[in-house]
Structure 1
Amino acid sequence: MNYLTVAEARARSGLRLVLSAHVPGPWGEAAKAVFAVRGVAVQPVAQEVFGDNDDLHAWTGHRNAPIAVLDDEPPVAGWLDLLMLAERLGEGPSLLPDGSADRALVLGLSAEICAPHGFGWARRLLMLGSRFGGADPPPGTPASILAACRRYGYGAAAVANAPARMADILRTLTAQLDRQRASSSPYLVGERLTACDLYWSCFSNMVAPLPPADAPMPDAIRDGYGALDPAVAAALDPALLAHRDFIYRHHIGLPLDF
């Protein structure tokens, strides 16, 4: 993918989407999928993973990705605000059901996947924990990584609790998918694609990366994603991965471009 620099992006109008450059960050991949399915064109802007990103912070007030900036509107960050922006700008079928009960279910499942202390958050804590053996960061740890630890609530207790949290969410998604399969629907909620289908598909790569031909991520990231706690591995039902593959084939598209 060809990325704009922050300086280039600031000089442009339209929708600019800040992404972690050249890595398949699940929040960024999900944002790309949401905008693409809604038919919204974006201009990708590079954020440096574990970099200081001072120029990005000066522009948007954020150092992380994804962030969306539309013309002169305030920057938008966070999975829910990005989804609502895509809903506002996009066309065609909504990624949210019309009915309130199903809409709440889609948003609730999506939050369990994307929101702070959800699936992706817990997986990130485990990956930080693998770096430090579950202990506190040792002296000499780069400042950018220390900042990430503080930002994400890293600590021994948080790391210890993460596998159970992830396993619980996986079981919840499996149970919901089983209910849908009983009514012959291939989607997590209702009879058509919704946001939570996209979110699960993108975040599934944190525990079961797509093949290299479909997601040519760096080996270090692939190895980190593929190393699973036994409780997480036991809760990862093959049906969830079959659902993921269906969504990628029919709605997101492969191979990934990052």
Structure 2
Amino acid sequence: MDYISVAEARGLKGLRLVLSAGVPGPWGIAAKALFKVRAVPFVAVRQEIMQPNEDLVAWTGRRNAPVAVYDDEPGLDNWLDIVMLAERLGSGPSLLPADPIDEALCLGFSAQICGHGGYAWSRRLMMTREGTAAPQPPELMARRQAMMSGYGMRPDAPENAPQRAIKILHGLVKQLYHQRERGSDYLVGDHLSACDIHWAAFSQMAQPLTLEECPFPVGMREMYDQMPPEVRAAGDAILIEHRDRIFARHIGLPMEF
């Protein structure tokens, strides 16, 4: 994927999307997919994972990615703010259901998938537990621990994370089977919505794509694939069937990052 620097991005108008270069971070994958489906053009701006990114902080006030910056508006890094920006700038079918109850259900599932305390948050905490991630150099592990502290990790959070992840997976599975019974291929309603895109992006933390579909950096696929057996057991095949359908119909593969 072609990236420009923060310095170059600051002089441009339109949508600039800050992404972690060379890494299929699920929050970034989701943001890209939302803007793609909504036909919103953007310029990709480079962020380096687990680095200070001082120039990015000076511009947006954030060190991490993704961050969406449109014209002279403040940068947005929250998953819901990015959904609403895609809705505002985009065209074609909305990614929010027209029915207000379905819209609330859609955003509720998205919050459980990628919000604070959600599935991805919990899986990321599991990756900090000793023995659950692929071996990494001590310097990288120290940076990862510092990063997790910056995310507000409590001492008991990794221990509680598996049960939270299992609860969310069970809810997604139940909803998908309910939708299948009523003849729908989507999590909510009868059309693609934001929560479908969010699950497709974050499903890497349940079952990673193949290396052909997603050319992971060395060690990253193994890190994503390691999880407590009880969490793996909660991952019903319908979750991956749904993920594969959303990528095939709406997002496309292989990934570029």
> How big is the shift at 1:141?
7.5
CA distance, structure 2, for counterparts of residue 130 and residue 146 of structure 1: 11
Q: Contact 2:126–2:227 (CA<8 Å) still a contact in 1?
A: no
Change (3 A) 1:146 1:209: closer
| 1:231 counterpart = 2:230 | yes
Q: 2:176 and 2:86 mapped to 1: Cα distance?
A: 25
Q: Distance in 1 between matches of 2:228 and 2:141?
A: 26
Displacement after TM superposition at 1:171 (Å): 0.4
Q: CA deviation at 1:215?
A: 0.4
Q: Deviations over 1:159-201 (max 9, x none)?
A: 0111111111000000000110001101000000000000001
CA–CA separation in structure 2 for the residues paired with 1:173 and 1:130: 28
Whether the 8 Å contact between 2:132 and 2:226 is mirrored in structure 1 is no
The alignment status of 1:202 with 2:240, answered yes or no, reads no
SS at match of 1:46: strand
Using a 3 Å threshold, how does the CA distance of structure 1 residues 170 and 21 change in structure 2: closer, same or farther?
same
Aligned mates of 1:222, 1:109 — CA distance in 2: 25
Q: Following TM superposition, by how much is the alpha carbon of 1:143 offset from its aligned partner in structure 2, in angstroms?
A: 6.5
Q: What is the rounded CA distance, in whole Å, between the counterparts of 1:128 and 1:16 in structure 2?
A: 31
Contact 1:121 1:152 in 2 (8 A): no
CA RMSD of aligned residues (A): 1.7
One-letter amino acid of the counterpart of residue 73, structure 1? E
Runs (4 or more) in structure 1 with deviation over 3 Å come to 130-133, 139-147
Distance 1:210 1:132, change over 3 A: closer
Q: Distance in 2 between matches of 1:130 and 1:123?
A: 14
Question: How many residue pairs were aligned?
Answer: 253
Change (3 A) 1:31 1:140: closer
Give aligned-pair identity as a percent: 52
Q: Please list every run of 5 or more consecutive structure 2 residues that lacks an aligned counterpart in the other structure.
A: none
Match of 1:80 in 2: 80
Residue aligned with 2:46, SS? strand
Structure 1 runs not aligned, ≥5 long: 134-138
Alignment of 1:102-113 (within 5 A): 102-113=102-113
Structure 2 residue aligned with 1:136: none
Maintained 8 Å contact 1:54/1:63:
yes
Note closer, same or farther for the CA distance 1:101–1:6 as it changes in structure 2 (3 Å cut).
same
Contact 2:13 2:70 in 1 (8 A): yes
- TM normalised by structure 1 equals 0.94
How far is the alpha carbon of 1:18 from its aligned partner? 0.3
CA contact (8 A) 1:15 1:41 kept: yes
User: Which residue number corresponds to residue 187 of structure 1?
Assistant: 186
TM-score, normalization by structure 2: 0.94
